[in-house]
Amino acid sequence: MQYRRVLIKLSGELLSSKQGSIDIVWVNRVVQEICHAMDKGVQVAIVVGGGNIFRGHELASEGIERTSADSVGMLATVINAILLTDVFEQHGRDVELMSAVPIMGVAEHFNLKKALGALGAGKVVVFAGGTGNPFVTTDSAASLRAIEIGAELLLKATRVDGVYSQDPLKEKSAERFTSISFSDVISKELKVMDLGAFIQCQQYALPICVFDVNKPKALLRVLSGEQEGTLISEEKI
C-alpha cells in the first residue's frame, strides 16, 4: 500500500437511503471495503457527517438559532457514528468512537493521544461531533482530524468518480481531472469541499483524493497508488 494512515470523510448523504435515514446494506458494503484495506495494513480513521438526519444551516434557515441548529447537526453525526461503529464490530473490528461533543456511556471525548494509540493497535477510529463548534462543517472536522493524526491522505468519499470541470450530470462536455493542484482547484472555482477545510489541507500539504465509493475495490486502488478518482496535491502529477 502506498498510504499507511488515512482519514476517510463519509457524508451523511452517503449513508442515507430513499426509505429512511440510513442504508444499512450500503454501510455494510463500504465497511467491508474498509476492512479489506485494513487487512493490507492501512490505518483508518473516519469522520462522519449527519446531513441524512439534520443539517444545521437548513434548520437555521427555518428559524432555529444557528448555534442551536449546529448543535443538533453535531448530535446527528454522533447517531451515524454509533451505527457505523456497530457495523464495524459486526465485521469483527475493534472500534474507538470519539466525539467533539461527548456523550457519557456512548461516545467519549476526543483525545488525540488515545486516537493515535488506537490506530497503532489496528483499531478503526471514528470521529463524530464535527469540531464541536458551530458555524464549522464536518469537512473542516475531516481536515483538522487528518492533520492531527498525521494522515498521509484525506479521502473524500462521494458518488461521483472524481472532480470535474463542470457538473457532469448537467454538462456532457465536463472534463474529469485525474490529478490537479490545490491552486488550480481554487483558480477554476471547483467545488471539492468546504473552502476553509480545503485551504487547511493546502496549508499543511495534505493531499485529497475524491473518489466514487460505490465502485468495487476503488478504495484499495487509491491506497495502492493506482489511478482512481482525482488526486489533489501541491503540484499536479
Burial string for 172-194 (b: 16+ CB within 10 Å, else e) reads eeeeebebbbbeebeeeebebbb
Q: Give the pLDDT of residue 143.
A: 97
pLDDT at site 236: 55
pLDDT, tens digit, 9 for 90 and up, residues 184-227: 999 999 989 999 999 999 999 999 999 999 899 999 999 999 99
Per the confidence metrics, is the pTM higher than 0.75? yes
| Whole-number pLDDT of residue 117 | 98
Question: What CATH number did the domain enclosing 102 receive?
Answer: 3.40.1160.10
Query: What does pLDDT average to over the chain?
Result: 92
pLDDT of residue 18: 67
Q: Which residues of the chain have pLDDT under 50?
A: 237
pLDDT for position 43: 98
Where do we find the cell 461527548?
A: 102
* pLDDT at site 191: 87
Residue 132: its pLDDT value, please? 94
* Strand, coil or helix: 129: coil
In total, how many domains does the chain have? Answer: 1
pLDDT at 234: 86
CA-closest candidate to residue 4, choices 37, 43, 53? 43
The CA dihedral of 38, 41, 43, 49, to the nearest 10 degrees, is: -20
> Which residue range forms the structural domain that includes residue 131?
5-233
Please name the residues in contact with 173: beta carbons below 8 A apart, sequence gap of 6 or more: 166
